[in-house]
Amino acid sequence: MTTGSTTQGGCPVAYDAPPHWDQTQVGSRSDWPGARRISWFLRYGLPRLGLRASARRGDLIAQMTTEHDRRSDPYAGYEELRARGPVIRGRVTYATVDHAVAREVLRSPQFVAGTELGPLPPRLNRLGRSFTDVLDLGPVDAPSMLAVNGDLHLRYRRLVTRAFAAKNVAQQEERIREITTRLLDDLHDDGSQGFDLVARYAGQLPVQVIADMLGVTADDRDKLLHWGDGAALMLDPDLSWSQYQHAVDGLHQLHDWVLRQITTLRDEPADTLLGRLVATEGEDALTEVELRMVAMLVLAAGFETTVNLISNAVVLLDDHPEQRDAATEHGWSNAVEEAFRYDPPVQLTIRTAGEDVELAGTSLKRGETVLAMIGGANRDPQVFDDPHRFDVTRPNADAHLSLSDGPHYCLGANLAKLEGRVALELLYDRFPDICVRPGGERRTNRVLRGWQRLPVSV
């Protein structure tokens, strides 16, 4: 076994020869009649039934996932949970809105990401994987970086970390400003009639930036945004059969697109992030499935968070015009942090106890799950003064957990913050009187919080 090192939280971490993802059980029954529906039922249908049954019995955690009003505005529910203690036990899962507890869950090696362990018996988990086609694997499925742990996670992350390091991201600011200025130029003549901020601006900026990093042509950018929206549905735990079909159709197209890019790059190497991944040799070389999943996650992570951040921030600044003036005067970096804190693009994440563990006085057994409700933790009064006030000058706004924490801290955090700062600064410099108009539509996701459509005028 050879050894090497990478960094995590600024500290060197040793690792043995890189492990590879074991694909042997995935898709072994995917050619059976009705395999996709069986896969959906075992992965989403059963949890959906369990959550709905629990919600009818008064389980607040389940109600916040299944009930439309609580999904669309979860913040009152977070306060109800806070009143019940640092760790709340539901019928299906535990949950916390306590900042310190959520941070511990995200950081502790006793809790793991992914679905290998969880509320379903291991036999059902294995059965579900056997009916799942490899092309149906999404962001919550191994070998996605969101769903693997330990040395395997370190191996994948090490291959892409350099591109998202603070120094390398900072070097992209000029290019990000060029893209942003061009988008605003295109919008200038449309302002009086109004336009959809998501479709024309908040979505376009991050997808163009990540497309440049990966070497995606202009013709494919809008396709990736559309496919990514579908794939993002798979982050939610209770997809209906029709939602699942829509999501995996998008995933298939993403898989096909990435495979075509890989084939081209093997014949015509390029100095892009995807090109470098394809060219990796030796023990670090990725299998075809690993390569596709790493590339797809980088694509999705490269724009999903930022799209929602920008649109959420514009709505907040429209609702609080005095904060718009404060951001202009004091700088936009802290305004981005406060937007992340106050209305985070990612509202929650789930972790599973990898062993029997004590959490804030509550005993969890191996395989039991905890929802770290980030949207609630970000309004913990033990950490943030007057937490329900949106304040772009808040001194500790960056103490939020919106980009996660620990080993799964958001790979694209530096890029998202830079894009958000530039996007808001230049938007309000060009259109200081921008106004949100009626007719906005929120996304239907429970995990991701943002806008599907946001009409504005200038």
What's the pLDDT band for 403 if we cut at 50, 70, 90?
A: very high
**Mean pLDDT, residues 85-97:** 96
Q: Distance (Å, rounded) from C-alpha 247 to C-alpha 110?
A: 31
Q: Distance (Å, rounded) from C-alpha 245 to C-alpha 3?
A: 43
Asked whether residue 197 carries a pLDDT value surpassing 90, the answer given is: yes
Instruction: Check residue 118 and give its pLDDT.
Output: 56
Instruction: Check residue 23 and give its pLDDT.
Output: 75
Instruction: Check residue 230 and give its pLDDT.
Output: 74
Asked whether residue 14 carries a pLDDT value surpassing 70, the answer given is: no
Asked whether residue 428 carries a pLDDT value surpassing 70, the answer given is: yes
Instruction: Check residue 4 and give its pLDDT.
Output: 43
The full length of the chain comes to: 458
Per-residue pLDDT reduced to its tens digit, 111-159: 999 866 556 677 888 888 899 998 888 888 888 888 899 999 998 898 8
* Higher pLDDT pick, 168 / 6: 168
* Higher pLDDT pick, 195 / 224: 195
The H or E element that residue 456 is part of is strand 455-457
Report the predicted TM-score, pTM, of the whole model to 2 decimal places. 0.91
Q: Distance (Å, rounded) from C-alpha 440 to C-alpha 218?
A: 27
What's the pLDDT band for 319 if we cut at 50, 70, 90?
A: very high
Asked whether residue 234 carries a pLDDT value surpassing 70, the answer given is: yes
Instruction: Check residue 223 and give its pLDDT.
Output: 77
Neighbours of 269 (CB within 10 A): 12
Phi, psi at residue 283, to the nearest 5°?
A: -65, -25
Asked whether residue 20 carries a pLDDT value surpassing 90, the answer given is: no
* Higher pLDDT pick, 252 / 85: 85
What's the pLDDT band for 17 if we cut at 50, 70, 90?
A: low
Query: Beta partners for 389?
Result: none
Asked whether residue 356 carries a pLDDT value surpassing 80, the answer given is: yes
Asked whether residue 107 carries a pLDDT value surpassing 80, the answer given is: yes
Share of the chain above pLDDT 70, in %: 93
Share of the chain above pLDDT 90, in %: 56
Q: Which of 167-171, 266-270, 378-382 has the highest mean pLDDT?
A: 378-382
Q: Where are the domains of the chain?
A: 25-457
In terms of CATH, what superfamily is 25-457? Cytochrome P450 (1.10.630.10)
Classify 277 as helix, strand or coil: helix
**Region at 36 (left for phi over 0; alpha for psi -120 to 50; beta for the rest):** alpha
Among 42, 200, 69, smallest CA distance to 132 is for: 42
What's the pLDDT band for 401 if we cut at 50, 70, 90?
A: very high
Per-residue pLDDT reduced to its tens digit, 72-82: 899 999 999 99
What's the pLDDT band for 26 if we cut at 50, 70, 90?
A: confident
Work out the burial of residue 54: count CB atoms within 10 Å of its CB; fewer than 13 is exposed, 13-18 middle, 19 or more buried.
buried
Q: Which of 1-15, 82-96, 182-196 has the highest mean pLDDT?
A: 82-96
What's the pLDDT band for 101 if we cut at 50, 70, 90?
A: very high
Q: Distance (Å, rounded) from C-alpha 377 to C-alpha 100?
A: 8
Helices and strands: H and E segment counts in the chain: 20, 14
Burial 313-330 (b: 16+ CB within 10 A, else e): bbbbbbebeebbebbbee
What's the pLDDT band for 33 if we cut at 50, 70, 90?
A: very high
Q: Distance (Å, rounded) from C-alpha 418 to C-alpha 162?
A: 16
How would you write 282-328 as a 3-class SS string? HHHCCCHHHHHHHHHHHHHHHHHHHHHHHHHHHHHHHHCHHHHHHHH
Please give the mean pLDDT across all residues of the chain: 88
Asked whether residue 51 carries a pLDDT value surpassing 70, the answer given is: yes
Q: Distance (Å, rounded) from C-alpha 420 to C-alpha 332?
A: 9
Instruction: Check residue 81 and give its pLDDT.
Output: 97
Among 80, 72, 114, 120, smallest CA distance to 97 is for: 80
Instruction: Check residue 433 and give its pLDDT.
Output: 92
